Structures are given as C-alpha cells and as structure tokens.
Amino acid sequence: MALPVQLQSALSPAEAEFLAENERIQIEPLVRLPVLGLIETEFGPFVPPRSVSVPLWLAIVLKKRGLCLIKPPRWLTAESLQDLVQAERTQDQFTPLPFHYMEVAKMLLEAHVAGDDLPDAGTCQTLLQDLREARRSKARQGVEIMDQSHIRVDHLAQMELNELRPPFTMSFSMMKRLQAAANLARPGGLTGTTAVGTGSGASGNRGGGMPSSSGTAAYGGSGLSY
C-alpha cells in the first residue's frame, strides 16, 4: 500500500526485504562446494543431496548460478495456504505466520529464483493474495471497534505492521485530541487520561522504533509500541 512521504514512519518495502533476506531456508546442493566463510559465520560444506540451512540471500545467489535447489517453507504450498486462508476467514484472531512471510514469498515466487522449485507457483500467488486481503479485512474491522485508549493486535507480519502503523497512529492522535478537548469543556478541566499499551514482548520503542519479530503490536495515545 503506497503512502505519502509524511506518513512513511516505518520501513520501506525494500528495507523490509533486506531484513527478510537473513531468514533461514533449506536448500539442496547440486554440486559439491567447500565451506563458505563469511564475516559472521560459515556455511557448508555442501554435499549433494544433503539439505543445508542457509540465509535466503545465499540461497538465491546459489540458485541463480544453478548450484542448488530451494526447498520452500512448509507454509508456502498450495495446501497449506488454502488452510491459512480458511482460518483467516473463519477465526477472529490473526493466524500465526512467519514475521517476514510476505517478503520471503515474494522473493521465492519470482520466476528466475525458485519458480521451478514450486510446481504450484501460480496457485500460491493467488492464495497469498487472498490471505493478504483476508488479514487486511480483519485489521480494518479492528480499527472500527478500537476504543480511545488501547488496541492490541497479535501475529501481524512486518509488512502488515508497516501498512497499519501510520493510519492507526493518526487515528489515535485524533482521538486523543478530541478527548482532551472534551475534558477541557467539562467542569473542573482536564481529568481524563489516555493509556499507552504495549504488547507482550514489546521492546518499549515508540513512534519510529524498530518492531520486534513477535508480530505483536499495541497502539495507544499519540504513539504506538511493538
């Protein structure tokens, strides 16, 4: 969802994808390769057909060079996505999903990356869109019933937090100003308060802070916490 510059208080899609490239994924080497020594750690050795866990960015590099096959995550299959879409449409709460599921799916479904590793790639793309729309609809319903002090949303992914954060923050800011004006108009002046809620495992950052990987967002007052 494109946002005006003044509302872009979260990560850009490119920044979110950059972070998602560190997610681990299984690959099957097609050739023998020695241990790859990187700055922080080592990967390998790579011996076909033994599966190896590597960062997504490394899997993409090896895939593009024809050196491995990428094994998609268990949730990135047509059957699993169908179950997830059904759950989102029938349950009140958000279904737990990997924090970077949208970014990982986008990169893996690109034809030149892992298209041949996903026999149902077209179906998966359609189901992912259905899943995203179902979760967006649920989020909109949450906005309609939120009160003036607090709203808690569990199991949101990185890109979903990015989309919801600016409108939620603006809504709470407006509600806080209206409540303050109403309190000032009462006899005795300003007496009401607005609580700032934090979700479980929140880092305590607010406003422009980095969200945690828990996917729990609690919004309150003029700011919000992840």
Q: Which of 43-52, 59-68, 178-187 has the lowest mean pLDDT?
A: 178-187
Q: What is the pLDDT of residues 134-167, one digit of tens each?
A: 998 887 776 655 555 556 667 888 888 888 777 6
- Answer left, alpha or beta for residue 97, where phi above 0 means left and psi between -120 and 50 means alpha: beta
For residue 25, what pLDDT is reported?
Answer: 94
For residue 76, what pLDDT is reported?
Answer: 93
Measured in whole angstroms, the distance separating CA 84 from the mean position of its chain's CA atoms is 15
Strands (E), 30-130: 36-37, 42-43, 52-55, 68-71
- On average, the pLDDT of the chain sits at 77
Q: Dihedral angle at the C-alpha atoms of 88, 93, 97, 101, nearest 10 degrees?
A: 70
DSSP 8-state secondary structure symbol assigned to residue 24: E
For residue 194, what pLDDT is reported?
Answer: 42
Phi, psi of 183 (to 5 degrees): -65, -40
Domains, in order of start, for the chain: 5-142 (3.40.5.50), 147-225 (no CATH)
Q: Spell out a b/e string for 59-85, using b for 16 or more CB atoms within 10 Å of the CB, else e.
A: bbebbeeebbbbbbbebbbbeebeebb
DSSP 8-state secondary structure symbol assigned to residue 5: G
Q: pLDDT over 70 for what percent of the chain?
A: 70
For residue 175, what pLDDT is reported?
Answer: 75
